[in-house]
Copies of this chain bind each other. A is one copy, B any other.
Amino acid sequence: MRSAVLAATVDVLTEHGLAGTTVGAVARAAGVHETSVYRRWGTREKLILEALAEQLDAALPVPDTGHVRDDLTAYFGTLARLLATAQGEALLRLSVERDDTLPDRRLPYWTERLERGAVMVRRGVERGELAPDTDPGLVIEAVSGALFTRALISGAPLDEDLACRLVALTLAGVLPRNRAYRPD
């Protein structure tokens, strides 16, 4: 039942948008009882968040080309494209909404997503492509944070070129080339 309901949720979202995605509409599309959906997911928001999250992970594979720059550029290029779609934006918007009557499950959810991305950076460190003291999660947060902010807050355009420039920035920094880094 779980996967049928989640797939139906994505279908209803695609066709009717966020406002039209009620538990009733999803239950009808999945051919299950509305009460079963409420029993399992509790709220419409949690149902939609879980459905979109599954879809996001499936649509955002973690590449392993053997080169950290290529991996990150491909990964964040895909993320930029996804966030520019209505479904990607819906996932982010739902993540921003909080339901104070329920335990806040956003932090574990996003920590898991962050860890998925950090694997690429960690492999780069292991291969000696990146400095040994690199903070893998911080690299992912800097690039994805800029993409999320455009999608959610500023409304500025999102494309693969932006993702590529953000990856280059976090890898190489902006200090003059050939100037050794001096920690202060």
| Interface residues contributed by chain A, number (CB under 8 Å) | 52
A174 contacts B106, C-beta separation under 8 Å: no
CB closest residue in chain B, given A156:
B107
On whether the beta carbons of A106 and B155 are closer than 8 Å, the reply is: yes
Can you give 22 A-B contacts (C-beta < 8 A)? A69-B184, A107-B155, A110-B154, A110-B155, A114-B154, A128-B176, A129-B175, A130-B175, A141-B150, A142-B143, A142-B166, A145-B145, A145-B147, A145-B149, A146-B146, A148-B148, A169-B170, A170-B173, A171-B175, A173-B174, A177-B180, A178-B180
Question: Considering residues A96, A128, A143, which has the most beta carbons from chain B within 10 angstroms of its beta carbon?
Answer: A96
B131 near A177 with CB under 8 A, answer yes
Question: Does A118 touch B at the CB level, under 8 Å?
Answer: no
Chain A contacts to B: CB under 8 angstroms: 69, 92-93, 95-96, 104, 106-107, 110-111, 114, 121, 128-131, 134-135, 138-139, 141-150, 152-156, 165-166, 168-178, 180-181, 183-184
- Chain B residues positioned under 8 Å from A69 (CB to CB): 184
The verdict on A153 contacting B146 (CB below 8 Å), with A130-B175, A138-B165, A174-B134 known, is no
Are A149 and B141 within 8 A (Cβ)? yes
A4 to chain B minimum Cβ distance, whole angstroms, is: 28
Residues of B near A130 (CB, < 8 A) are: 174-176
